[in-house]
């Protein structure tokens, strides 16, 4: 009888363990990366698109510039096309600040 009780307890323990493992297995099975169309959350996509459109509209109004077509619009800002500069041109526009060694030592 003692053996029957031990076997019964072991079987119950195994059943409980199997149930826990099945739950874990279900949680780890995420399926494919892409969701079927009926499960895809289109509301989030629409909200993101609406937010992006609003940002572009606000920037266009602020800077009177059509960013989609890369064209200036009528408004407060006056846009003019400039030629691109190469890196050497920028060196001419910047100045180096030369510090004497004595001044460096005083700041320490």
Domain annotation covers residue 50: yes
Tens digit of pLDDT for each residue in 30-44? 555 555 556 667 778
Domain of 53, CATH number, reads 4.10.365.10
Q: Using CA atoms, how far apart are residues 30 and 64, in angstroms rounded to an integer?
A: 47
Q: What is the pTM for the complete model shown?
A: 0.41
Q: Using CA atoms, how far apart are residues 5 and 8, in angstroms rounded to an integer?
A: 5
Residue 49, domain extent: 41-78
Domain annotation covers residue 18: no
Q: Using CA atoms, how far apart are residues 72 and 63, in angstroms rounded to an integer?
A: 9
Residue 36 is predicted with a pLDDT of: 59
Residue 53 has pLDDT above 90, yes or no: yes
Domain annotation covers residue 74: yes
* Helix, strand or coil, per DSSP, at residue 72: strand
Domain annotation covers residue 59: yes
Domain annotation covers residue 91: no
Are 77 and 63 a contacting pair, CB within 8 Å?
yes
Residue 50 has pLDDT above 80, yes or no: yes
Tens digit of pLDDT for each residue in 66-103? 999 999 999 888 888 877 766 556 666 666 666 555 55
């Amino acid at each position: 009888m003692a053996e029957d009780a031990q076997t019964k307890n072991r079987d119950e323990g195994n059943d409980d363990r199997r149930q826990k493992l099945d739950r874990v297995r279900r949680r780890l099975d995420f399926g494919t990366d892409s969701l079927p169309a009926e499960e895809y959350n289109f509301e989030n996509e629409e909200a993101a698109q609406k937010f992006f459109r609003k940002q572009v509209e606000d920037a266009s109004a602020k800077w009177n510039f059509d960013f989609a077509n890369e064209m200036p619009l009528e408004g407060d800002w006056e846009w003019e096309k400039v030629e691109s500069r190469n890196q050497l041109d920028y060196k001419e526009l910047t100045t180096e600040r030369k510090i004497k060694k004595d001044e460096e030592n005083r700041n320490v």
